[in-house]
Chains A and B, each alone.
Chain A
Amino acid sequence: AAPGRAQMFATVVDTFLEKLVAAGSYQRFANCYRCFYKLQPEMTRSIYDQFISQLQASIKEEIQEVKNEGNLETVFNSLDKIVEEAKNREEPAWRPSGIPEEDIRSAMVPYLLKHRSYLQKILKEKEEENRKVAESVLAGRDRIAELQQQIQARKHAWQAISKEQRELVMTFKE
């Protein structure tokens, strides 16, 4: 497997350090401080060695500090995972357009879709509920019409009676 970012970072920094130390060789150092080197070669060597180890220590410390501050180890590993997940994708992925209104739009969509299906559901329920109530309202109207007819019939029957009654009275009058 390709080395992860953390591994790569460490390797690149180590290589940098190696090369820097190689560039600043003892020969080069002694050559620059030739007069002192002639006077005290051993001392020059030990000063050079200290110089190198101090420089390496400082650089390594700095790198460690940057790693700690940016939590780089963890961050690199999580980026490796994210990149790994996208390995089957060829085309360039979405990037922020620079227009916030545009970019927030897609973030809203899943919730709007959920909201839409919720509204569709309750609308359907409400329609079904109303359909049932409408049925009972129609049945109620029929019932009332029927009762009214019955009342009409009874009323007419009584009216017929009173007609008979009037006739009877007429007869008696006669």
Chain B
Amino acid sequence: SVNPMAYEAQFFGFTPQTCMLRIYIAFQDYLFEVMLVVESVILKKLDGFPGCKISPLQIRKSTEKFLLFMKEHLDKLFSKMEEVLLQLVLNIPKNVLLPEDKVHEQYPYSKEQLEALQDEIHQLQKQYRAEASAGQALRAELEEQKAVQAELEKILQWFDGLENTCREHGTGNFKESFAFLTQNAKRLQDVLKDVEEKSK
């Protein structure tokens, strides 16, 4: 089972194994290239010795032998190096959290907790809207009250005006003056009756 080292890839931007593979392939290529150069140099040197009995095939065999040996050691050493690098350098210890994931440490919210939080927010939004429209209704009533109070005050002023008019014309208090008039009328009636009787 391959460990994709995904968390390391999140940090490095590449998978450690691929990084190592790339280095390995490069090393291997260099080894092959250098060996080919060695072989071509030796063959060229041999051209300088026409009498010598060493054939290119022999040189090729030597090259292969040395290359094989070097390749084996390269593989062995490289897998050791890879093991160390993957464990100690290109790895993120289990207890380490990357900065971009800090939030998971601070707010380990479960699905239910988050839904509860979202419900709470919806509830607050609803409440706020209700309060806002209640506020509008209250302010509307305030406006209405101003108009009504103004009307009622106008009526009261009208009454005041009426009474002031009466007062200005000597009938301070209508009620009393009517009562006074009524009394006088009655008295007049009595006097009238009295006079009539006496005159009979």
A92 on interface, CB distance cutoff 8 Å: yes
Q: Do A24 and B69 contact each other (CB < 8 Å), given the known contacts A19-B77, A75-B12, A106-B104? A: yes
CB closest chain-B residue, reference A79: B11
**Contact yes or no, B7 A36, CB < 8 A:** no
B116 nearest CB across to chain A (Å): 11
B124 nearest CB across to chain A (Å): 4
CB closest chain-A residue, reference B104: A94
**A residues less than 8 Å from B186 (CB atoms):** 171
Q: Do A89 and B95 contact each other (CB < 8 Å), given the known contacts A47-B41, A55-B31, A110-B106? A: yes
**Using a Cβ–Cβ cut-off of 8 Å, how many residues does chain B contribute to the interface with A?**
97
**Using a Cβ–Cβ cut-off of 8 Å, how many residues does chain A contribute to the interface with B?**
90
Q: Which of B21-57 contact A (CB under 8 A)?
A: 22-23, 26-27, 30-31, 33-35, 37-38, 41-42, 45-46, 49, 52, 54
A1 on interface, CB distance cutoff 8 Å: no
* Other-chain residue from A19, A55, A119, A167 in contact with B182 (beta carbon distance below 8 A): A167
**Contact yes or no, B175 A160, CB < 8 A:** yes
CB closest chain-B residue, reference A6: B89
* Other-chain residue from B80, B107, B156 in contact with A150 (beta carbon distance below 8 A): B156
**Contact yes or no, B149 A119, CB < 8 A:** no
**Alpha-carbon distance A168/B30, docked complex (angstroms):** 136
A35-73 toward B: CB 8 Å interface, digit per residue (1/0)? Answer: 110011001000100110011001100110010001000
**Contact yes or no, A12 B84, CB < 8 A:** yes
B146 nearest CB across to chain A (Å): 8
B138 on interface, CB distance cutoff 8 Å: yes
* Other-chain residue from B38, B106, B109, B179 in contact with A51 (beta carbon distance below 8 A): B38
**Contact yes or no, A82 B69, CB < 8 A:** no
B111-137 toward A: CB 8 Å interface, digit per residue (1/0)? Answer: 100100110110011011001101100
**Contact yes or no, A20 B77, CB < 8 A:** yes
Q: Which of A103-153 contact B (CB under 8 A)?
A: 103, 105-110, 112-113, 115-116, 119-120, 122-123, 126-127, 129-130, 133-134, 136-137, 140-141, 143-144, 147-148, 150-151
**Contact yes or no, A33 B85, CB < 8 A:** no
**Contact yes or no, A140 B34, CB < 8 A:** no
**B residues less than 8 Å from A75 (CB atoms):** 11-12
**B residues less than 8 Å from A106 (CB atoms):** 103-104, 107-109
> Which A residues lie at the B interface, using CB under 8 A?
5, 8-9, 12-13, 15-16, 19-20, 23-24, 28-29, 32-36, 39-40, 43, 47, 50-51, 54-55, 58-59, 62-63, 66, 70, 75-76, 79, 82-83, 86, 89-96, 102-103, 105-110, 112-113, 115-116, 119-120, 122-123, 126-127, 129-130, 133-134, 136-137, 140-141, 143-144, 147-148, 150-151, 154, 157-158, 160-161, 164-165, 167-168, 171-172, 174
